[in-house]
Chains A and B, each alone.
Chain A
Amino acid sequence: MEGNPHSVLEGMIIAGKAVGASVGYIYVRTEYPLAVSNLKLAVKAAEEAGFLGKKIFGSDFDFEMRIMEGAGAFVCGEETALMASIEGKRGMPMPKPPFPAERGLFGKPTVINNVETFATVPVAMLMGVDVYAAKGTEKSSGTKTFALTGHVAHTGLIEVPFSTTLREIIVDIGGGVIDDDGVNRGADFKAVQIGGPSGGCLTQEHLDMSLDYDNLLKVGAMIGSGGLVVMNQQTCMIKIARFFMQFTQNESCGKCVVCREGTRQMLELLDDIIEGRATAETIELLEELAHVVKIGSLCGLGKTAPNPVLSTLKYFREEYDAHVFDKTCPTGQCEALSRYVIVPELCKSCSLCARACPVDAISGSKGVPYVIDQEICIRCGVCMDTCKFNAIVK
């Protein structure tokens, strides 16, 4: 849309010709101003060149292109919600059937696809379908664009055949995994979140798997948005699951009760885990609720909202257990579960931390290393900030 908007227009014009449509809409997020302005420019140029408008190339085929800017609702990526939004309504999904191809926009049959799909049409036609399909794998033919981000040295958009493995993407293209300070120390890979808030995570064991539709489905993930967020060992997976849950909870349109209320309850259960209030029952309830939300929701948002939780539960169960039973966060990211300890060898007994502590949890005397009473400590971290000798560790 930004770099080559004409490829999208061309794909849509071809599709319009194929099905006999006369109007095409491009629904684009208003948060992408460059995409909006470049698309508008491209439409104007195409109209002037006679690729769009009345009697294209002297034929009987008319095709008009309209750009619709979204107004900030994630659920409008769902096809029926997207069409409701173009019609000027609240973007809430409708049950299917009827499918858009039967009764879609303004009650008319509608072909609705991602812009990436449309942009691929002219490429596949130019190359010849057989040549194009020879790339990738048998069932997932061709290439796919991914947005590679997170803890890798090189971030950005990449286009690879479906047969490419995760390792090739992270190491060869991404330049390897980096630590929080931006340095690549090698072999620090923990997980990659694929497919945005609806997707799942892949771990060490999936590094040599090719990223095609079937393989991903088998391991409980999906390509979804095409987002690949690489995470290093310093990332807490429960916090990541909570982050996605917060997002889907915010973006739930509110139509289905299990999605609206279920995601809220799941979020609170995750908070219990992160803040140290969880018991064995919490995990059970979380898992049960995840399945209820999955089954009981109408659209893709609700059906996939529990995926980040289910997939982290599957691959990082021990991390959940550590939070729940040992009340510790293995990565030290969860404030409420972290323990601040004074290293006796480094402590100079200056008493600075004891004076800074708001709850008087630190005691000691001159010449003897100070200690933190874990029962009183509220884990605010002030002591660590005040210590001049880096003697306090988390």
Chain B
Amino acid sequence: MENAIAVKFDRVCQILEQHQRDPHKLIPILQEIQEEYQYLPEEIMTFVSTALGLSTSQVYGVATFYSHFTLSPKGKYVVKVCDGTACHVKKSTSLIDAIAEELGLSSSGKTTEDLLFTLETVACLGACGLAPAIVINEQVYGHMTPESTVQLIKEIKAKEAQI
């Protein structure tokens, strides 16, 4: 266990060194940490604030200001539904409803209990020509319908069940 903690902070130290422990680089530092851990664990944010000579509230303030950062663990598959204007007029909300229903998510919950899926809405993916678009772990799917979206989720579920 102790070893695991040491490894955990090792990686943070590397990231901090890459950015010369420059407090101005707080956002790229947090971005890389989140890429590593999938979210921003509280103890790591405290560690980062000490290392950069910032107060914990400053780090927390930045982490909560930007929607890209998350303070709780996300699912293995992050499903982002674009709700930018172009996707919205092409009925992206019906995709959100369909996915939430398929995954059994309530309006408050965004991640399934088995930590397999996280459902998010984002403001414009820059794929307006493909509206309505969704992204599952960096893979973009365009011209979606509620049916094709649910089909996609089912395929992932089936793949995961085999493992």
Contacts and interface: CB of A to CB of B under 8 A. Distances in A.
B122 to A, nearest CB: 6
Contacts of A72: 66-69, 122
A149 B131 contact: yes
Contact of A71 (B24, B61, B69, B91): B69
A35 B126 contact: yes
26 contacts: A29-B126, A31-B125, A31-B126, A33-B138, A68-B27, A68-B28, A69-B27, A69-B28, A69-B31, A71-B31, A72-B69, A73-B65, A88-B24, A90-B62, A147-B86, A149-B128, A149-B131, A150-B86, A157-B129, A193-B85, A227-B85, A229-B89, A240-B89, A243-B85, A244-B85, A251-B123
Interface residues of A, number: 42
Contacts of A68: 27-28
Contact of A155 (B22, B86, B125, B126): B86
Contact of B128 (A29, A71, A147): A147
A73 B67 contact: yes
B149 to A, nearest CB: 17
A255 B88 CA distance: 28
B85 A32 contact: no
Interface residues of B, number: 31
A149 B129 contact: yes
B66 A231 contact: no
Interface of A: 29-33, 35, 68-74, 85-91, 106, 147, 149-151, 155-157, 180, 193, 196-197, 227, 229, 231, 235, 240, 243-244, 247, 251, 253
Contacts of B25: 88
Interface string B55-95: 00000011001111100000000000000011011110000
Nearest to A230: B89
B33 interface: no
B2 to A, nearest CB: 32
Contacts of A193: 85
Nearest to B128: A149
Given A31-B126, A85-B27, A150 B68 contact: no
Nearest to A87: B24
A149 B86 contact: yes
A150 B89 contact: yes
A89 B62 contact: yes
Nearest to A1: B126
